Amino acid sequence: MSQAIKNKRKATTILLIALLLGCSFQSDEENNQDEQESININIELSEDGECIYDPGNDYGYRYGPSMIINDDGSIDAWFSRPGNNYDMWDYISYRHMDEDGDWGEEEIVLRPTEGSLDGHSVCDPGVFYYDGYYYLGYTSTINNEGLQNQIFVARSTEPNGEYEKWNGSGWGGCPQPIITYDGTYWGAGEISFVIEGQEVLCYYSWKDEGEDSMRSSKAILSENWPVDIKFRCITSSKEQYQCSNDVVYLEDYDVYLAFSIGNRMSSDSYLLVMYSLDGREFEILDEIADSFESNAHNLGISKHKDGHITLDDDLYISYAYSANNT
């Protein structure tokens, strides 16, 4: 969790619809020996978003959403929210949107475990579903300045819990990280997942001395898949003031898309879209400022339970922003 987020007092959460209007591939004919493919994709945002959380004049925020689209069109969504305003900075809450677009009541579904390695916070949720379980990845640290973050995961048979945390060899008890960090900078966090065959791909932020990037690790799916997690690669460098990527796999064209916010928490923030043909190296595809609020940060895009999307999906983008950035 970043110090800037920890200090935020008022942040409204807004929901937009993003439409994928079509994709095409082009080859670079100037290099016949090693043709390079590129993707063209048209993305439009609805003119008016829906406010799904507003703190009014009170302390409050919801940010970093993870959203799963169900077969009936309903959505399960998880958000970072304030903790106890003392030593536990963030909790993770859950809300359900039914097929008619109506949101249910909010429930707190995950809290820090006192005295453990996630004792200060659980935030930045990233969720996927596999073999009867919702797996909820999250960021946490025991550093009082919000540095030295690591990534953890918990699981439940229901989207609203109860969740059991990964303990290093199984589920339940004292939490242990699945992505570790032993430096002195911000560390690792803000994870999203994509299932690829029998593997789960993990995409996450990494900030250390001399590196501000998005990374990827993977694990073979099994009952205790976190024990097998291995580093893959650095997928992209983060531009200055860029949020983390929420990664999805577009089935229609066998391409990976990464959504984030550029110029986060500024008057000219915008939607940044990146793509990758192999899920390893991402390039900038588009920058969209229309219908986007200023001072935006920490978005999430809706996806199916396996982290996939299709051109037939109505995609929802949710993000936090503050009118006066306080």
Asked if residue 96 lies in contact with residue 104, where contact means CB atoms within 8 angstroms, the answer is yes
Q: How many CB atoms lie within 10 A of CB 36?
A: 11
Asked if residue 304 lies in contact with residue 316, where contact means CB atoms within 8 angstroms, the answer is no
- Measured between alpha carbons, how far is residue 191 from residues 54, 114, 133, 138, 253 in Å? 25, 22, 17, 7, 24
Q: How far is CA 263 from the centre of its chain?
A: 17
Q: What would you report as the CA-atom Rg of the chain, rounded to the nearest whole angstrom?
A: 19
The residue extents of the domains of the chain are 3-26+38-321
Three-state secondary-structure class, residue 253: helix
3-state SS track over 74-97? CEEEEEEEECCCCCCCEEEEEEEE
Is CATH 3.30.429.10 correct for 3-26+38-321? no
33 forms beta bridges with none
Closest CA to 204 of 171, 250, 240, 236: 236
Asked if residue 320 lies in contact with residue 243, where contact means CB atoms within 8 angstroms, the answer is no
Tokens 């109860």 sit on residue: 162
25-61 pLDDT, tens digit per residue, is: 554 544 444 444 666 777 888 777 889 999 988 889 9
The low-confidence residues of the chain, meaning pLDDT below 50, are 1-9, 27, 29-36
- Measured between alpha carbons, how far is residue 99 from residues 17, 69, 132, 141, 218 in Å? 15, 10, 22, 37, 33
247 forms beta bridges with 258
Asked if residue 280 lies in contact with residue 249, where contact means CB atoms within 8 angstroms, the answer is no
Asked if residue 167 lies in contact with residue 173, where contact means CB atoms within 8 angstroms, the answer is yes
Mind giving me the DSSP string for 50-75? EEEE--TTSSB--EEEEEEE-TTS-E
For residue 45, what pLDDT is reported? 84
Closest CA to 252 of 193, 312, 325: 312
Asked if residue 109 lies in contact with residue 79, where contact means CB atoms within 8 angstroms, the answer is no
